Amino acid sequence: MGRVSLNMLRARKARREDPLDPAPGRPGPLADAAAFAETRTAPAERPAADDPEEAAVLADSVGLAMLVVLDTLSPAERLAFVLHDMFAVPFDEIGPLLERSPAAARQLASRARRRVKGAPAVPETDLARRRRVVEAFLAAARTGDFEALVGLLDPDVVLHADGEIVPGGRPVVRVGRDAVARGAVLASVRSRFAEPALVDGSVGLVTAPGGRLYCVLAFTVVGDRVTAIEVIGAPERLRGLEIAVLDA
């Protein structure tokens, strides 16, 4: 099953394939893990979930940020990481599946783990402060709390948004906390699919309906106020970002 999953993952780099309905029954944790790894196709190749309930279940079970990060791993890294870290399969069993030694499989999982966790670009205390601000922003955006949003934004905050995620297809610039807060309220539905993540070493938000990366919000935080927000949706810019999972 692991070999089949690897072959399918590699083939999807050359052509798109739609997943077949799974066969009834549960063949066991090894097949479960391989199947899970196989479903993590590249963001541009995988259709977003149309059912909000399905997307919510997917996010609750794995985490949006984790789904996004898994997409950045190679097929072998992904399989080694998922089998070992999520299903506790020993490397003695993973190695033959990958046609590699157990030591090589361990290295693959270790490399994937480092990419999943990432490395903060700021001190731990500063990262915690930024995280509190970003999570408060997300909570206020989800509930459409205009006053709470205004309280988190600097009076001269500037928001830049790529045209790919804006109706009309043109980049948008909003200046001032009232304008930025109104925009966040209007995007409250979209914020249901957002989750904090480490973006280029600092705290940001990834928006990923059904686990498919749609856009990233990069924040500049000074003190306890947001001074700038970059809404990144252009595919070439998304591919250049380093996204990692924040520790609980």
Residues 209/139, Cβ–Cβ less than 8 Å: no
Higher pLDDT, 55 or 74: 74
- The residues with which 174 forms a beta bridge, in sequence order, are 159
Q: What is the DSSP letter of 211?
A: G
For β-strands 243-244 and 225-232, DSSP reports them as unpaired
Closest CA to 162 of 148, 150, 172: 172
Beta bridge partners of 219: 229
Whether the predicted model's global pTM rises above the 0.75 cut: no
**At 104, which helix (H) or strand (E)?**
helix 102-117
177's tokens = 């906390």
Q: Are 194 and 205 in contact (CB under 8 A)?
A: yes
Does the pLDDT value for residue 10 go beyond 60? no
Distance CA 48, CA 23 (A): 22
Each residue of 20-49: pLDDT tens digit?
344 444 445 455 555 555 554 444 343 344
pLDDT tens profile 134-171: 999 999 999 999 999 999 999 999 999 999 988 888 99
Q: How far apart are CA 248 and CA 212, in angstroms?
A: 22
The structure tokens listed for 76 are 């072998």
Residue 38 in contact with residue 5, Cβ under 8 Å?
Answer: yes
